[in-house]
Structure 1
Amino acid sequence: KFYNLDALKDYKWYWRIEPGVRYTCAITYDPFVEMARREKVYGYTVALWEEPKTCPGLFRAVDDYRVDKGIPAGPMWNAMVDASWKPWPLRKLMAWLRAAHTDGNGDGWNLCHYWSNFEIADLDFFRGERYQELFGHLDRSGGFYDERWGDAPVHSLAVHLLLEPGKLHHFSDIGYDHKPFYQCPGNAPGGQLEEEELEKSIFGEGKYSPETEGTIGCRCECNHHRKKRNNRAICLGRLQEPATAAANRMGFMDRFWGRYPYAIGVA
């Protein structure tokens, strides 16, 4: 419960910064000010699939809490769910057996979550009664000890259960590199800060990536040799758009063979 540490008690916002990461674009505004001004609660960059073996019981535990508290399954929650194609009796059997990543109706979690190596969020959300109740329920279930429930899937399921869609923000203009995944939006035409003479003398001209139509970054240094830069992640699409087309979902054979391709966030 980092949000209850004495060192943070006088703070409302936090920005999680991991060792070894690179911010590959200039950040030309104060993210905390903009989050507060726009009444956002949780900000992220990358969304991807969770490793399924680490938390087989987490989704059921969160959904049990949802049902117990009478929280309706709205668009935000449904963005986390893959409706089962199995016949109803088989779905109920799987639910009764508490099959991995399955809720009480036999539907499954799509394993999508926000990569919490980058988070900018309102500490009051985590200190609030609703999140504290949910966390207490998860803690009592024993999954943090019996399995490996990480902060990323817990935070992701919590914000999709307890927040409205407009309270989340994708920082698509921030270049973020935490190997092996990264997003780099590229430099917006006509939207760049002028290079100072001192910069040119130290780094030379052409340090930054070329300006490209349709991009939104400032002074970005994107590695164009790395694969999958700015490919639209399936998980990012699922979490941002609950009505994502079925064609963008994982195929049956991928699930059957346990292939969970990790994807990166999009600028």
Structure 2
Amino acid sequence: MGYYHAYSQHGTLSLAFDLLARVGQILMLQFRRLRLSGPNGRNRRRIKLLLKIAILLFVLYLIDLPIHLYRTRVVRPDQDLDQPFASGCLDPSVMAAQPRENATFVMLARNSETEDARSTVFDIEWQFNRWFHYPILFLNDVPWTEEFKDALSRAVSNETEVRFEVIEKGKWGFPEEMNEEKKTKAKLQMKKQGEKGIVYGDMESYHHMCRFYSGEFYNLEALRPYKWYWRLEPSVRYSCALTYDPFAEMAKRDKVYGWTIALWEMGETCPSLFKTTDDYRIEKGIPRTPAWNALYQVMWYPAPVRWFLGFFGVSEHDNSGIKWNMCHYWSNFEIANLDFFRSDKYQDYYRYLESKSGFYSERWGDAPVHTLAVHMLLPPEKIHHFSDIGYEHDKLWQCPGNAPMDQQLLGNKALGDTGKMTAPSEGGTGCRCKCQENKRRRNINSECTSELTRPAAHHRPSWWQRHNGYYHYAVNNPNNPSQG
């Protein structure tokens, strides 16, 4: 999982500008020495030479910059490739009677999280699963207590199946092939991460969890019967009714990966992950695509500076020296096709990461790993933003504006009376959403949402709108977009 961090490029910017400044200082120093030494013919020739060098470098920059921007551009599609699956409320009794997909909810939890897990399950049952009755699979790395199983079994509706499974040996913890010497080294590296103040850097179980969700999760025996999964987390709130089947819609529209919130990763947790992934992309001959280019931050440095950053493996840069914008999907909510993550191409990527030991030498999270894989291996039209789902976890949340009142199916027997809801807003898509008042109605800032949805978006905000903080707002919140 990723957590909000107002990231800074201070290190990279300092490095680049120090290099540029040094070149400028050398040129200016030469000009000054020549001017002070007198206007003789030899000095005039040297001044002309320096001017020619400076002009040549400037011309090369003017030639290189548009080429660089063109190669890293995110091509605008002819039409919008991703839209909400529905607007407002549909009759859940009608939608639930349609054929279902082979799918399950999955929650990784601890026995001590009984109440947090129960509150999430109660919420998702009330907002969706009391009509659709998809099974819920609970996973733990230790045996479940009877208290947890009893509480969660009582939290679901009568027709919802619940299963409590223990993760099999070899899927959780250090890789089986890691010897004791390497384990000792990994623990020392984790300890150093904690000393540096990296969030969860010294928590061994968190590293195990990131590795587990990055690859081992998809090959669990308990998940083998299913094609689709919806990831749940303890202590999550769903603030809108969901009256259609997202699994069925994903399958019908040939989508593979669905998400709600996008935000910045903390660079210190995975400084080499982007370059490692780019190494893999180059090794396998995977071309840059609009989806991949959406991960880039626009860079105005001249080519030699970019090459310098890439050659020396500066954190968060790829082999050519282009910086990752650090945007990633918050993976504590995912609705996705298991076949993609079980595929040879994804599993090969995961094994490549595994061979680099970054899940322990750094804190490579499953959220950035999933994001990089999705944007490297999938075309934009396979990725879906669930902008109509109200989702809250920790201090981050997305709550869409409600669709007009005539789309709220007031009086519908299946929906019943859900109480006071947020007032409808122009362009809203939500069904009976209850957005919390006096709070930000968007996850941190919509910049990452805008960046990651660009490959699928024909309609985009202008440069000037982006400059002024108005980004792509798929959720159509009633508040001013600049509130974030």
TM (norm. structure 1) is: 0.87
Aligned-pair CA distance for 1:196: 6.7
User: How many pairs does the alignment contain?
Assistant: 252
CA distance in 2, matches of 1:246, 1:147: 36
Distance in 1 of aligned mates of 2:461 and 2:325: 13
Q: Is 1:239 paired with 2:455?
A: no
1:4 to 219, 234, 238: 219
Looking at structure 2, the residues matched to 215 and 33 of structure 1 have their Cα atoms a distance apart, in angstroms, of 22
How far is the alpha carbon of 1:225 from its aligned partner? 1.1
Higher RCO (C-alpha under 8 Å, 6+ residues apart): 1
Q: 1:57 aligns with which of 261, 264, 272?
A: 272
Paired residue for 1:79? 294
Q: Alignment partner of 1:81: what SS? A: coil
CA distance in 2, matches of 1:218, 1:139: 42
**How has the CA–CA distance of structure 1 residues 265 and 74 changed in structure 2, closer, same or farther, with 3 Å as cutoff?**
same
Q: Equivalent of 2:410, from 194, 198, 202?
A: 194
2:247 to 8, 32, 41: 32
TM-aligned CA distance change 1:248 to 1:29, over 3 Å: same
Q: Distance in 2 between matches of 1:140 and 1:175?
A: 38
CA distance in 2, matches of 1:109, 1:45: 21
Alpha carbons of 1:229 and 1:89: their partners in 2 closer, same or farther (altered >3 Å)? Answer: closer
> How far did residue 40 of structure 1 move?
0.4
CA deviation string 1:217-261 (max 9, x = no partner): 1111011310243786101111111487656779xxxxxxxxxxx
Q: Provide the rounded CA distance (Å) in 2 between the counterparts of 1:46 and 1:182.
A: 7
The amino acid of 1:234's aligned partner reads E
Structure 1 residue aligned with 2:399: 184
State the 4+ residue runs in structure 1 displaced beyond 4 angstroms. 195-200, 242-250, 263-266
TM-score normalised by structure 2 residue count? 0.49
Structure 2 counterpart of 1:131: 346
State the partner residue of 2:355: 140
CA deviation vs aligned residue, 1:15-35 (integer Å, no higher than 9, x gap): 001111111000001111111
Partners of 1:78 and 1:120 in 2: CA distance: 24
Point out the structure with max Rg over C-alpha: 2
* 1:53–1:141 CA distance, 2 compared to 1 (3 A): same
Q: Distance in 1 between matches of 2:285 and 2:230?
A: 32
Alpha-carbon distance in 1 for matches of 2:262, 2:364: 17
Q: Which letter maps to 2:408?
A: Q
The aligned counterpart of 2:307 is 92
- 3-state DSSP class of the match of 2:397? strand
* Residue 227 (str. 1) matches residue 455 (str. 2): no
CA contact (8 A) 1:193 1:219 kept: no
Which of 266, 272, 285 is matched with 1:70 structurally? 285
List gaps (5 residues or longer) in structure 1: 251-262
More helix by percentage: 2
Question: Structure 2 CA distance, aligned partners of 1:22 and 1:219?
Answer: 14
SS of match in other structure, 1:82 = coil
The AA in structure 2 aligned to 1:74 is: T
| Residues 230/2 of structure 1: CA separation in 2 closer, same or farther (3 Å cut) | closer
Give the corresponding residue for 1:257.
Answer: none
**1:24 alignment partner AA:** S
Structure 2 residue runs of 5 or longer lacking an equivalent are: 1-215, 476-484
CA apart distance, 1:183:
0.9
Q: 1:10-56 deviations in whole A, cap 9, x for unaligned?
A: 00000001111111000001111111111100000011110111000
Contact 1:232 1:266 in 2 (8 A): no
Distance in 2 between residues matched to 1:163 and 1:67, nearest whole Å: 16
Cα deviation, residue 179, structure 1: 2.5
SS of residue matched to 2:407: coil
